[in-house]
Amino acid sequence: MSKTWMWLGIALFAAGLTLAGCGRTALAPANGVALAAAPAAEATPQPRLATVNGVGRVTLSPDMATVQVGVRTEDPDVGRAVSENIRRAQAIYAAVQALGVAEKDLQTTGFNVYKTTKGPQENRVEVYVAENTVSITVRDLDLLGQVIGAALDAGANQVRGLRFGASNYADALAQARRQALEDAQAQARLMAEVLGMRLGPPRRVSFGGGQPVPRADVAYKAMAPEAAPPEVPVAAGELEVTATAFVEFELLEP
C-alpha cells in the first residue's frame, strides 16, 4: 500500500471517531479510550410545607402585685433634700413591713439627685431635688390597698406602675402553649385534608407571646402626706396568658 492510501485511511478513521462523538462530551484519558461524561444529577424536589399559627389562651386569677412608690423632696440645700428623702423612705419601709411585707419584697429601683430652678420667671431660685423609688411586692392582695395607703401616709408622694401577677404563671404559660400547638396541628390537618394530602411531621416550631399584660395605674403625684387615704381601693380582676405557636408541617402524597 502506498503512503498516500495509508494517510487517507488514517484521516477517514479520525473523521469517523469525530462523528461518533457528536452530541456528547468525550473524555480522552492517556490510554486513548473515549469515555462519555456522566449526566448531571437531578435536583432534589423541595418538600411541600403547611405553615400555620396556633393560639392558646388561659385565664387565671392574680394572687400578688407589685407597685412602685416614690419620694420626691426638694430644698435649696442638697444635704437637707437628701436627708428628708431618706427619712421618708425609711418610714415607708417600716410602715409596709408592719403590715406583713417581707424585707425581700422591698427593692430600691431608683435614686436621683439633681439641681433645678423653680418659681416665676422674674424670681427663679435654685433647688436640689432628691427622688427615691421603691418597688413593693405584695403577696396578699387583701393587704394591697392598705400597703399603698400606708406608704402614702409615711411620706410617699408618687405611686405608679401597679402590676398584678400570679405565682402559678409558669403552669398557665405551659398550658397556653399546649393549646397553641394543638390549634396549629388542627389547622394543618384541615389544610392537608382539603388539599387531598397527608400531614407529615413538623419541620420547625417556635413560640411567641406569653406575657400577662393587664395593668392598673394608680397615680398619686405630689400629694401631701396628710391628704393620703388610709386605704386605696384596687380591683385585681383577671389575667389572661396568650401564647402563639408558629409551626411548619410537611405535606405528603396520599
Pick the CATH number of 62-166+213-235 from 3.40.50.150, 3.20.20.370, 3.30.70.2970, 3.60.10.10: 3.30.70.2970
pLDDT reading at 105 higher than 80: yes
* Residue keyed to cell 394543618: 188
Query: What mean pLDDT value characterizes the chain?
Result: 81
Domain ranges of the chain: 48-59+171-209+246-252, 62-166+213-235
Place 118 in a pLDDT band, splitting at 50, 70 and 90: confident
Stretch 137-142: mean pLDDT: 94
Place 47 in a pLDDT band, splitting at 50, 70 and 90: confident
CA 105/CA 116 separation, integer angstroms: 33
Q: For the purposes of burial, counting CB atoms within 10 Å of the CB of 42, is it exposed (0-12), middle (13-18) or buried (19 or more)?
A: exposed
- State the pLDDT at residue 42: 65
Stretch 19-33: mean pLDDT: 45
Half-sphere CA count of 41, side-chain side, radius 13 A: 3
195: cell is: 388539599
pLDDT reading at 3 higher than 80: no
